[in-house]
Amino acid sequence: MKRLRKGIALLTAAGMMAGMMTGCGGGTQTAGGGTVSGSGQSSGQDSGSKGGEASGGQVVLRFAWWGGEERHNATLEAIAKYQELNPNVTIEPEYGGFDGYQQKLITQLSGNSAADIIQIDQPWLADINKQGDLLMDLNTSENIDLSQFDETFLKNCLEFDGKIVGVPTGMNTNVFLYNRDVLTDDRFGADKIISWEELMEIGTQMHAQDPEFYLLNVEQTIINLMLHSYLNQQTGEYIFNKDYERTFTEEQLRDGFQMVVDWIDNGVIEPAEVNGIYVNRWYENPKWIDGKLGICQVWLSSQSTATVDGSIDVGVMSMIREADGVGSGVMIRPSQVYSIPSSTKYPEEAVKFLDWLVNDPEAAAILKDTRGVPASAAARQVLLDMEILSEENNHVVESAMEAGAMTIPNLPTGDMEQMWLDAIQEVEYKVASPEDKAKELVADFDELLQELKEGQ
């Protein structure tokens, strides 16, 4: 009897431990996708700030953003400066990492409890806009100078149903970067244009000389970006247009897929089994750090990621393109967007702060390039004068705008990206031939576009 009781006790204790373990497991899960905090000052202030205007017309605004240490510090400094200039305004920061930010934001927006100024990612806007007037139309306010922004850029990226729902925090464009210590010959440079064929030739030749070397550091998501550029150069449009119509032909897609297969066969890129480990983290590939990979494609704002904390000396290259291409293959989009939820109690105060944040020289000098190359011309000039923005990067952005960047329609895309990534993987892993996969993807893509169109 005694032994039995002891046995039960032990089992229960062990069971509790097991319960704790599952509890722990659940915890990690939410940490992966759930919480935003982690940097102290976020959330928890929601209740306090609501009725915060009590003392003598004091206005309390909440400002939410995600980012890294550098961005946090710069933004906090900017807030302090604004409060100094406007003693009647208190700004409460709510910041943290990117993980879970979107989920939290969408939940808050639907519950009318979002901050008064929010940082948001441009691709989310189409879906948010579909849910109703959740974001304020900045056209309706006198207090912000929208003329500092390129008009077409603003219209293409941020106009929904005739409303301007935000302003870009910065500008981002897809650029090729090359390792200056490895690719030393004069075919590479900011003003040199390389065609897809030349790229193949150079890559093949270099791999033949050194079997350990691969010219391009890519994985499926980068290949996807490159395919979009490749197709844009032939059609002059994004992969679909404003009417949800496919813009490319099956043959064009097949040629694109064939190019990927040739890259693998010629040793221009690593086989899928190797690069597949580094999806979304190609800069962790030891070969990139060892100089055994020559070129990568990134969003300009991630340039510092590509240098692996400054240990690799990278130079900017022009977009790879044929001389007779129709489109430039260059994408241009806001790094992020600042929006003001319609639920805010102080729309004009929020707009005033926003205007200061994006247009004021003093703010620009504090924020520097922590949100990419500033989209406001006034801010860009300040950074050029301060020599924070390199001539090279400014040139990349300005030439991207001139080149007639490809316009991505402001429409919900459902699981379009995943569909393309899956197709690219099948081609890369050679489980489907370029011909078959092009045919299949075109059919699936048309079906998805049809569904999205009907869902409008």
**Chain residues that interact with another protein, rule: CB under 8 A:** 3-4, 7-8, 10-11, 13-15, 17-18, 21-22, 24-25, 28-29, 32-33, 102-103, 106-107, 109-110, 127-128, 131, 134, 220, 272-280, 284, 286, 414-415, 422, 425-426, 429, 431
Distance CA 182, CA 332 (A): 28
Which lies closer to another protein via its Cβ, residue 106 or residue 200?
A: 106
Task: Tell me the helix, strand and coil percentages in the chain, rounded to 5.
Answer: 50, 15, 35
Distance CA 366, CA 393 (A): 19
We find the least distance from the C-beta atom of residue 114 to another protein, in angstroms, to be 11
> Of the candidates 141, 112, 143, which has an alpha carbon nearest to the alpha carbon of residue 342?
112
Which lies closer to another protein via its Cβ, residue 22 or residue 47?
A: 22
Which lies closer to another protein via its Cβ, residue 8 or residue 388?
A: 8
Which lies closer to another protein via its Cβ, residue 208 or residue 274?
A: 274
Q: Which residue has the tokens 């961005």?
A: 71
We find the least distance from the C-beta atom of residue 14 to another protein, in angstroms, to be 5
We find the least distance from the C-beta atom of residue 129 to another protein, in angstroms, to be 10
For 290, phi then psi, to 5°, come to -85, 0
Which lies closer to another protein via its Cβ, residue 277 or residue 386?
A: 277
We find the least distance from the C-beta atom of residue 137 to another protein, in angstroms, to be 18
Distance CA 27, CA 11 (A): 24
Which lies closer to another protein via its Cβ, residue 2 or residue 47?
A: 2
We find the least distance from the C-beta atom of residue 124 to another protein, in angstroms, to be 10
We find the least distance from the C-beta atom of residue 179 to another protein, in angstroms, to be 19
Cβ atoms of 115 and 66 closer than 8 Å = no
Cβ atoms of 212 and 293 closer than 8 Å = no
Distance CA 105, CA 87 (A): 28
Order of all β-strands in the sheet with 89-96: 89-96, 59-66, 117-120, 337-339, 167-168
